[in-house]
Amino acid sequence: MDVQSCLAVIGSMNEGRLPDGDRLAAFIDACAPQMFSGSVPEEADGMRAAFLAEAGLKSDPRIEHGRTEKRKALDEESARHVRETLFEAARRKAQKHFGNSIYIRGLIEISNICRQNCRYCGIRAGNAEAERYRLSPEQILACCEHGYGLGFRTFVLQGGEDAWFTDERLAALLRRIKAEWPDCAVTLSVGERSEASYRLLRQAGADRFLLRHETADPCHYALLHPVSQSWSHRMECLRSLKKCGYQTGAGFMVGSPWQTTDCLVEDVRFLYHFQPEMVGIGPFIPHAGTPFARFPSGDVERTLVMVALVRLMLPFAMLPSTTALGTAAGNGRERGILAGANVLMPNLSPREARARYRLYNNKLSEGAECADNIEELKARIRAAGYEIVVDRGDFRQS
């Protein structure tokens, strides 16, 4: 795809029209070809075949014997020009609806105990080296009290799928938070549950729910998860969240093992039809205690292109500039905002919990990532031309 064709794709998406799959894939590969921080391990093909066999799926010979056909990439100068044009369009789209406001959410990592065994995740059940912890309701409430004083008006309770947090315990906690801080929103990110559970938690006061779809390609999903976890169930959970009235968040990693550009196109198409209120996008970063320990990290530029494309497609969505972006690049938060993101999630968790909630290697938990350093974060965001505001930051389609 040449430069003019790339600019036409940006114009089309800026006007709310989604290009066909081949054209969108050609655009992504032209301006942000797949790049990695290192080489793919020699055992990757064998792992892929074994995971597919476990799931009862047939291997794609195009990938089994190499890569899928590569589309033509632009020269670096032209690719940079296209990316800068895309990022500028995404910034304008975000500023049209949100001005220069950046919304903050206070992240409270309530537990790193998880019953699931996602192959990319550092707190997976199979990681025997993880130092497990669980915050008590009193500790969580103390985090909320501290965060409120710092100016946070949304609390995100995130954790592994920890069986201790039953519907009853979570509902009781939500009611206490809402009674104490009625002007605040509460977001849950606690994984796959039943529709009845989602409904009960919604009635208890949860406003939003984050559940990344991870990938819109069922075959790719089977490569990232054991057979006990299914793509169809993840999709069912997301539909249930919408049905229960949550502001619902989906999302995906960029550069995860065996992800192709066509996978990313399917992610965009899924988001276009699902219309989530929130989308989290970050680069894949490996964790030493997972089967993907030796795989390279995903590319920052490719991640930023996906953030910008989603902003053009979902102009009202709340898009975080993720911790993974900040981990992958020192100025990753700012670059995410300059690509159309409008949310940051500083960490309100106790220091000892932050050190143990390791989803991937070298996950940021100090400095500007720590909620106590909110003034440092404000200064960095102000230098980029934006302002952090004290606001719940609800989704509003207007």
Q: Is the pLDDT of residue 23 over 80?
A: yes
- The residue with tokens 């039943």 is 194
What digits encode the pLDDT tens for the residues 238-297? Answer: 999 999 999 999 999 999 999 999 999 999 999 999 999 999 999 999 999 999 999 999
Q: Is the pLDDT of residue 213 over 60?
A: yes
Whether the CB-CB separation of 380 and 346 falls below 8 Å is answered with: no
Residue count of the chain:
398
DSSP string, 246-304: -EEEEEEEES-TT--HHHHHHHHHHHHHH--SEEEEEE----TTSTTTTSPPPPHHHHH
Number of H helices and E strands in the chain, helices first, is 16, 9
pLDDT in tens, 280-292: 999 999 999 999 9
Retrieve residue 44's tokens.
């990757």
Residue 36 has pLDDT above 60, yes or no: yes
Query: What pLDDT shows up at residue 140?
Result: 98
Q: pTM above 0.85?
A: yes
**For 289-337, how does the pLDDT look when each residue is reduced to its tens digit (9 = 90+)?**
999 999 999 999 999 999 999 999 999 999 999 999 988 988 999 999 9
Tell me if 258 sits within 8 A of 220, measured CB to CB: yes
| Cβ atoms within 10 Å, residue 293 | 13
Q: Which two tokens stand for residue 17?
A: 């029209």
Is the pLDDT at 156 greater than 60, yes or no? yes
Tell me, what's the pLDDT at 66? Answer: 40
Task: Identify the weakest region by mean pLDDT among 125-129, 217-221, 304-308, 323-327.
Answer: 323-327
Residue 65: per-residue pLDDT: 41
pLDDT of 372 reads 80
Range with the lowest mean pLDDT among 207-221, 308-322, 361-375? 361-375
In terms of C-beta density within 10 A (0-12 exposed, 13-18 middle, 19 or more buried), how is residue 362 classed?
A: exposed
Domains defined along the chain, listed by start:
89-389 (3.20.20.70)
Return the pLDDT at 212: 97
